[in-house]
Chain A
């Protein structure tokens, strides 16, 4: 089983739609979780950290389910500019340093 698994998509949605991505992780001891965004041929950039109680940043909501070992990202009112690949990132925190394990990403295409 991969350490971090994501549905590769692509998810094709119209502008204004709500879309959700899930990500599962295998290491139950993992302590920190993130969503990164990567535009085509660009570097990954942090979209948001995922807190245990869930958190929201504008149109974006992240949730963590430790029992089922998955995290989710919900995007409301999708914009054309949201088209990108969304990377689920987990830090197992069992090595004493910031070892970030990246999922392969979920591609989102928002159309007019």
Chain B
């Protein structure tokens, strides 16, 4: 029962570096999401996908890119890392078309940009 798996769990980046946060789910969920959580703040939606080949911006997409080539994988790309991107990143997935569908989260990636 892997659920949603994120890698890496921790990462320190230098300003200007790039990286990809990996997310994969084995529940055959259509919907996948990337959130970031800053201290004392709620989760903010970065990007989401309603199915393979379909992605769209959330509330805070600047500085990030995503792709969804398969149902299982939804990587998040950070280009030109900035200190403002220091945060905890959560990937999540859920079933399509269920009003009370539960969102399942990965364990998170703690990213520090220095």
Contact = CB atoms under 8 A, between A and B. Distances in A.
Does A pair with B? yes
Interface of A: 4, 8, 31-32, 34, 42-46, 49, 87, 91, 93, 97-105
Contacts of A100: 33, 45, 103
Contacts of A31: 99
B interface, how many residues as a size bin? 20 to 34
A43 B107 contact: yes
A43 B99 contact: no
Interface in B59-114: 90, 94, 96, 99-103, 105-108
Q: Which of A49, A93, A97, A101 has the most CB of B within 10 A?
A: A97
21 contacts: A34-B100, A42-B107, A43-B90, A43-B105, A43-B108, A44-B43, A44-B103, A44-B105, A46-B102, A46-B103, A49-B100, A87-B43, A91-B99, A98-B31, A98-B103, A99-B45, A100-B33, A100-B45, A102-B35, A104-B41, A104-B42
Given A98-B94, A98-B101, A103 B108 contact: no
User: Considering residues B31, B45, B100, which has the most beta carbons from chain A within 10 angstroms of its beta carbon?
Assistant: B100
Contacts of A49: 100, 102
B4 to A, nearest CB: 8
Given A43-B107, A45-B105, A93 B40 contact: no
A34 B43 CA distance: 14
A81 B100 CA distance: 26
B42 A87 contact: yes
